[in-house]
Structure 1
């Protein structure tokens, strides 16, 4: 099972980095597998630390993948040399236990050394789930056929229309705008996503 989270890390000079990332659990360990090149990977190797942030503010997911908003407030982690989102519902602080190197996708085995809860979880929201699915689509625009993206976004739009609040609508607008920008860039380059990937 893969859980969609926000991973925060800090560079050696303290600069924060925020990235949506899937995480797997193996007992007390968290498994992260970032694709190279990866600022998250570089920061973890240097600091041996990271933080998993649990949030229902899906603007963070959408903002990161679309580059519409990346400067989310952070504070210092409690036990590890990293940072966390200031407004997360909860967070888990991780220390690097093992690095299984790979040219494309290294595996980071991280030990959870500290957890904190900050706010109650209000329940599941379909629009929030739709935004996360939309963010995954946007992160893969370079490899997915346009008609597949359109079909899936149209279906996800139903949940947005029925259950979204202001934050979800903002995040969704960022995603749809990113798709439009991607299509415009393809038009100016004279090719489709599939054609560009195949060359």
Structure 2
């Protein structure tokens, strides 16, 4: 049986548990104009259908990550210092990104994997398909025209080495510009996608 929608999980880079622990990523004090030390950056796996050995979920297409405000009264809005100054940066480890990309609001980063998932003798790989001849009756797992399959939703055992097509690994960093205001800020990391 196929699930109706992708099932998203945010997990630690070593796949040992959910991220962030306790529901919040506490950055502590971040000095404007300075990069976070390596031990304070967050390695994260963004999974679709984590460890589901029974059902496929729809593939995630055109996946993007950005930030949104989470201050009281502004939840989800594309305003506030973290968003407007693009204080958060992301690197796509799954495709060996060389550089961080600053994100915020509509300034999102496309994230994807090109790696495969192997489960029960079946290998699946994210891809961009040619849209089928009969667009009113596309087969399962076809992307919309012009869209890429970025994260698979196929059944998997949840093992990082077997299910690399079912997650994107990112490294998340805070790097406020020197002109950023001081203060305590609440923000959301948000992904958007088609399915």
User: TM-score interval w.r.t. the shorter chain?
Assistant: under 0.3
Q: Greater relative contact order: 1 or 2 (C-alpha under 8 angstroms, separation 6 or more)? A: 2
Q: So what's the TM-score if we normalise by structure 2?
A: 0.23
Structure with a larger share of its residues in helix: 1
Q: So what's the TM-score if we normalise by structure 1?
A: 0.22
